[in-house]
Amino acid sequence: MPYVKWMLGTEDLTPEDDMPIGRNVLELGDIRQSNNYTCVAMSTLGVIEAMAQITVKALPKTPGNPVVTERTATSITLTWDSGNPEPVSYYIIQHRPKGSEDIYKEIDSITTTRYSVGGLSPYSHYDFRVAAVNTIGRGPASDSVEARTAEQAPSSPPRLVRGRMLSTTTAIIHWDGPEEANGQVVGYRVYYTDDNTLQVNQWEKLMVRGVNFITIQSLTPNKTYYIRVLAFTSVGDGPLSQDLQIIAKTGVPSQPSDFKGEVKSETSILLSWVAPPQTGPENMITGYELVYRRSGDNEEKKLNFDPTSSYLIKNLKPFSSYTFQLAARSKHGIGAYTNEVTTDTPQTQPSAPPQEVTCSSPSSTSILVSWVPPLAEFQNGNITGYSIQYSVTEGDNRTSQQVSRIPPESSSYLLENLEKWTEYGITVRALTEAGEGPESLQLLVRTDEDVPSGPPRDVVTQAVNSSAVRVVWRAPAVEQQHGQVRGYQVHYVKMNYGEPTGPNLIKDILIDDSQWEYNESAEYEVVLGELQADTAYSVSVGAYTAKGDGARSKSQTLCTTLPLPECPRLSVSPTPTGTAQLQWLPPPNPPTPLLGYRLTFGRLDVLPLTVVEFPAKEKSFTAQDIHKGASYVFRLSARNKIGYGEEVVIEVTTPEDVPGGYPENILSKGASASSIQLVWKSVPLIEQNGKIVKYSVQYRDVNGRGGNATGEAVVTVPESSVTLEGLSADTVYDVRVCAFTAVGAGPYSPGVQFRTQPLDVEVFATNFRVKAAMKNSVLLTWEIRDKTPSQPFTILYDKGQSVEVDGKQNQKLITGLQPETQYSFLLTNRGNSAGGLQHRVTVTTAPDVLRSKPTLVGKTNADGMVTVQLPPAQTTTTVRGYYVVVVPLKKQRGGKFLTPGDNPDQMNLDELLKEINRTSVSQALRVRRQVPASQSDPRAYVSAHFKTLPQEFTLGDGRSYGEFRNRPLQNGQEYVFFVLALLDLSNNTMYSTSPYSDPVTSNDVDPQPIVDEEEGLLWVVGPVMAVIFIVCIVIAIL
């Protein structure tokens, strides 16, 4: 094996004494230049060499410093030397403003050594440097080179142009240089005119160099001048400033300067400005006038405010553009307005929901929601989308769900994967970048129907007889109905040894609309007829909706019974002696032996019928007590071990005859001086002998006096009463009555005697009626014929109760009644109540619609007001109105207030009506004629009238409610109050009252006690005050 060594040119890289044999590896590090390395192998056979070339690749060298070869106002052209013998991939130019600490901006991928850098600012200093990039990487950058862009005409106008009048014909104008001069400003040109409709090149023009002000002379007094200024460089003119308006009048403020707006919120903008210069105390600014309008509005709004340098204007519309102009004011007048400043308020949430929201259900699991965007004035921004909130309104699972990120261009959305036949509440919101707006009104929509997924429940089958079976079931579970169950189908088929034979029969049961409402406990039943006796049938039940049939119940197998006997053959023969002979033969070919018979018979108009059972050997029967002129029914059926079979029915009518008896219990319901009202009971049924068609009433004067001593009246059935008129006063009459059938008259009854009234008690009252009905009382009225009655009246009612009324009165309040109960009232003269003429009326008391009392929410304040919670109305009855009645209580000499009764219905209306007539309270209730209550004469009054009763109400706020003034509560006075509901139930005036509230006392200032002339004769207290007003309302309505 040879020795191996490495050499670099003539230099040995492997020591002589350490040369390896056969193999030598050369490891090189920190290589900085390219070289050729030689591998030498030596042995006794000779020497051989091999060369390896190492090439070192380096980053590019620094290019030569860039040189500016061309410049414009916005660009610099640079050239540079590559400085690299090796190829360069591209160059990078870095630049930044002179003196800036910002990082360099870079332009890469430059493949030439000349490049124009654009996008620079005019007349500005920049630093530039260049770096090269090869395949290895990026080399170091060159040294920075400074360059300045060329001049350009100013790109902005002079700033803060301002002016003031030195005299009525001379003005001085000041300004600041432009922000973007783009070079050295050589001078300024000032244009001015008093006619701003002219083109600017037609205005007067002045030029100034080296200063930022100018004096304009020879102006016309009291005229408004428009002034504009521009700056110019050696290259050209810059833009004109906005108009400066100045009025040629001394003392009037000049135009505010630097007028601008800054948004503070969606509805407010902060305006700021620099005040015009003020020359002396005589020309001080006294205020400002602001004119502004919303974009799209034609109407301008004005605001005036005190001297300041800023103003926050509020209550603006979000997402709107506003223009503002400002003028200063002094005692000499208002100055020129600034130019218009436009500021936009930012977006906010919509203030109104989407419009025309509609919902429909295209399938049983989806709802299509459609809408129209909110009105533009309520959008408050660009609509960025919509969201839909929906939730189930039935059952326990009412979790709300939301669909967000609906695109703004959408006007509908399909909600999917919903529950079948389920009602959902759906709302829609509109969104802007600021957030969500309010929800639309909730719409209730039900998903479409589907076929029931569950079978009817609790199916029970039962054999009725040999040819029919009864099937009973309940509806499917509500969550499995998936729609309105419109009917059921009962499927049945004949079975033989567990296998169906014959066709599958269907019985369809359609549910009536009135039974559509779901009832968990409701059962449905059908009888399947025309079946074969002693035969097995398989029965199942399925529900169906408008979409089709649902799942069926599990089949049930049952067997019909053996057949019942057919009806026997029956004959009926009435006899003249009041009996009927019945004979029958057994039914032909009975399927099983007969065990007996059952006969049901009797008059058709008399129940119950008589039932008689016979053994199988009996074949005849004699029916007793068969009346003349009556219809009888006879029903006979045979019985076997299964039960009674079909009945044979025969109806028989016996011939009529004259009645065998007379009417009974002849009584007088009332009598006057010339008439008697009679009533009686018909002939006993057993003696009628047919249908009674009329009655004959004979009467005669027992003393046989006068031309009207006898008479006869005929009464047609069904009447069983008559009023005999034209009689003599204070006379005894004998009365007899007989009945007629179609055959003729029966016997007359024994005579019954009645006396007419004397002339002096002929008619004691007329027009007896119900004037008003409350829940616990009724107001009765009548008219008195005798102006000086001597006898009192009696009112009878409610199973023997009575009340006595002074004969001079014409009305009475009956108390202690039950709500919503019918009562009959009988008015009679006490002295002649037995047999005297009576007056009767019937009325139903009002329902109890206000069951709880009003409650106090707080205490009475210093202004005589207190907030109360009104009771809820618990009724479906139409209420014509609600009245809040305040009752001031009377104070005794001991200092205590008299407490009211149990409820406002318990009133002394007799005294109350006298008080009403004396004080004309009913007229004083109207607002235009209302008299304030005083402590010396407290009266109940209505403080408010409502069509719909609110939950809370403030007593004593001084406002008017439904033509009634809500008077402030008097200091030191104690009150109770209640609510009166006027009902619309009948022709009578009907109203219901709540219980009294707890007493409430206004702030006490030691009022004097309120008493009557005699303390022991306090005729009415709080309840009477309340009733006074109740009756006023009643009288006004009637």
> What's the mean pLDDT in 820-842?
68
Looking at residue 506, its pLDDT comes to 92
Q: Are residues 396 and 545 in the same domain?
A: no
Residue type, 666: I
349 occurs within a structural domain: no
Q: Which of 155-159, 801-805, 923-927 is predicted least confidently?
A: 923-927
> What's the mean pLDDT in 816-838?
70
CATH code of 589's domain: 2.60.40.10
Looking at residue 776, its pLDDT comes to 85
> What's the mean pLDDT in 693-711?
82
Q: What percent of the chain has pLDDT over 90?
A: 43
Looking at residue 522, its pLDDT comes to 84
Task: Give 810 or 922, the one with higher predicted confidence.
Answer: 810
Task: Give 1033 or 127, the one with higher predicted confidence.
Answer: 127
Could you tell me how far CA 490 lies from the centroid of its own chain? 44
Q: Are residues 1011 and 908 in the same domain?
A: yes
Residue 685 scores a pLDDT above 90: no
451 occurs within a structural domain: no
Sorted by sequence, the CB contacts under 8 Å of residue 607 that are 6+ apart come out as: none
Q: State the pLDDT confidence band at 602, using cuts at 50, 70 and 90.
A: very high
Sorted by sequence, the CB contacts under 8 Å of residue 563 that are 6+ apart come out as: 465, 466, 467, 533, 534, 591, 642
Digit-coded pLDDT (tens) for 422-456 = 999 999 999 999 899 999 999 999 999 999 999 99
Looking at residue 1022, its pLDDT comes to 45
Digit-coded pLDDT (tens) for 945-961 = 888 888 888 888 888 88
Q: State the pLDDT confidence band at 534, using cuts at 50, 70 and 90.
A: confident
With tokens 């207190």, the residue in question is 866
- Structural tokens at position 658: 């004259």
Q: Are residues 900 and 955 in the same domain?
A: yes
Tell me which residue of 614, 618, 588 sits closest to 601, measured CA to CA: 614
Q: Are residues 787 and 859 in the same domain?
A: no
Looking at residue 919, its pLDDT comes to 34
Spatial separation of the C-alpha atoms in residues 907 and 833, rounded to whole Å = 28
In our burial notation (b when 16+ CB lie closer than 10 A, e otherwise), range 667-685 reads: ebebbbbbbbbbebebbee
Q: State the pLDDT confidence band at 908, using cuts at 50, 70 and 90.
A: low
> What's the mean pLDDT in 447-472?
91
Looking at residue 988, its pLDDT comes to 63
> What's the mean pLDDT in 35-59?
88
Residue 143 scores a pLDDT above 90: yes
Digit-coded pLDDT (tens) for 278-314 = 777 778 899 999 999 999 888 899 999 999 999 999 9
Q: Are residues 433 and 288 in the same domain?
A: no
> What's the mean pLDDT in 1004-1031?
44
> What's the mean pLDDT in 644-663?
91
Q: How many domains does the chain have?
A: 9
In our burial notation (b when 16+ CB lie closer than 10 A, e otherwise), range 269-295 reads: bebbbebbebeeeebebeebbbbbbbe
> What's the mean pLDDT in 490-509?
91
Residue 90 scores a pLDDT above 60: yes
Domain finish residue from 99, 127, 148: 148
Q: State the pLDDT confidence band at 397, using cuts at 50, 70 and 90.
A: confident
Task: Give 731 or 874, the one with higher predicted confidence.
Answer: 731
Looking at residue 1010, its pLDDT comes to 41
Alpha carbon distances (Å) from 995 to 106, 274, 620, 847, 901: 91, 70, 74, 14, 10
Residue 1036 scores a pLDDT above 90: no
Digit-coded pLDDT (tens) for 62-79 = 999 999 999 999 999 999
In a 10 Å sphere around its CB, with 0-12 CB exposed, 13-18 middle and 19+ buried, how is residue 585 labelled?
Answer: exposed
720 occurs within a structural domain: yes
Three-state secondary structure call for residue 691: coil
Task: Give 731 or 985, the one with higher predicted confidence.
Answer: 731
Spatial separation of the C-alpha atoms in residues 574 and 322, rounded to whole Å = 110
60 occurs within a structural domain: no
Mean pLDDT of the chain: 85
The side-by-side arrangement of strands in the sheet containing 620-623 is: 569-574, 580-585, 620-623
Q: State the pLDDT confidence band at 17, using cuts at 50, 70 and 90.
A: confident
Residue 832 scores a pLDDT above 60: no
Looking at residue 136, its pLDDT comes to 84
> What's the mean pLDDT in 670-677?
81
Beta bridge partners of 414: 368
Looking at residue 1007, its pLDDT comes to 44
Residue 786 scores a pLDDT above 80: no
Residue 11 scores a pLDDT above 50: yes
Residue 1018 scores a pLDDT above 50: no
350 occurs within a structural domain: no
Q: State the pLDDT confidence band at 935, using cuts at 50, 70 and 90.
A: very low
Q: Which run of H or of E encompasses 379?
A: helix 376-379
Spatial separation of the C-alpha atoms in residues 564 and 646, rounded to whole Å = 8
Q: Are residues 111 and 175 in the same domain?
A: no
Tell me which residue of 174, 176, 181 sits closest to 156, measured CA to CA: 181
Task: Give 55 or 912, the one with higher predicted confidence.
Answer: 55
Spatial separation of the C-alpha atoms in residues 873 and 839, rounded to whole Å = 36
Looking at residue 975, its pLDDT comes to 87
> What's the mean pLDDT in 541-556?
92
326 occurs within a structural domain: yes
Tell me which residue of 117, 137, 114 sits closest to 127, measured CA to CA: 117
Looking at residue 417, its pLDDT comes to 92
Looking at residue 83, its pLDDT comes to 87
Looking at residue 204, its pLDDT comes to 94
- Structural tokens at position 249: 């009048």
Q: Are residues 17 and 139 in the same domain?
A: no
Domain finish residue from 844, 871, 889: 844
Contacts 24+ apart (CB under 8 A), 52-59: 54/28, 56/31, 56/32, 57/135, 57/136, 58/86, 58/136, 59/134, 59/136, 59/137, 59/138, 59/139, 59/140
263 occurs within a structural domain: yes
Sorted by sequence, the CB contacts under 8 Å of residue 606 that are 6+ apart come out as: 685
Q: Are residues 621 and 597 in the same domain?
A: yes
Tell me which residue of 477, 502, 472 sits closest to 490, measured CA to CA: 472
Sorted by sequence, the CB contacts under 8 Å of residue 352 that are 6+ apart come out as: 374, 375, 378, 437, 438
**Which range, 565-569, 760-764, 818-822, is most confident?**
565-569
Q: State the pLDDT confidence band at 912, using cuts at 50, 70 and 90.
A: very low
> What's the mean pLDDT in 102-108?
93
Q: Are residues 1033 and 885 in the same domain?
A: yes
- Structural tokens at position 532: 């074969």
Beta bridge partners of 257: 274
Give the phi and the psi of residue 773 in degrees, each rounded to 5: -125, 125
Looking at residue 1021, its pLDDT comes to 40
Residue 272 scores a pLDDT above 90: yes
Q: Are residues 474 and 541 in the same domain?
A: yes
Digit-coded pLDDT (tens) for 732-757 = 889 999 999 999 999 999 999 988 87
> What's the mean pLDDT in 148-155?
92
**Which range, 349-353, 843-847, 1014-1018, is most confident?**
349-353
Q: Which run of H or of E encompasses 377?
A: helix 376-379
Looking at residue 830, its pLDDT comes to 58
Domain finish residue from 596, 621, 653: 653
Q: Are residues 910 and 822 in the same domain?
A: no
Residue 657 scores a pLDDT above 60: yes
Describe the crossing of helices 909-919 and 1022-1037 by its angle, rounded to 10 degrees: 70
492 occurs within a structural domain: yes
Looking at residue 178, its pLDDT comes to 94
Q: What percent of the chain has pLDDT over 70?
A: 89
User: The domain containing residue 80 runs over which residues?
Assistant: 67-148
Digit-coded pLDDT (tens) for 549-572 = 999 999 999 998 888 888 999 999
Alpha carbon distances (Å) from 5 to 8, 36, 41, 52, 641: 11, 14, 7, 13, 134
- Structural tokens at position 723: 């009023």
Looking at residue 866, its pLDDT comes to 85
DSSP E strands, 815-891:
822-829, 839-844, 855-856, 866-869, 879-888
Looking at residue 898, its pLDDT comes to 77
Residue 526 scores a pLDDT above 80: yes
Q: Which of 316-325, 378-387, 636-645 is predicted least confidently?
A: 636-645
Q: Are residues 1003 and 884 in the same domain?
A: yes
Looking at residue 936, its pLDDT comes to 41
Digit-coded pLDDT (tens) for 228-269 = 999 999 999 999 999 999 999 888 888 898 899 999 998 999
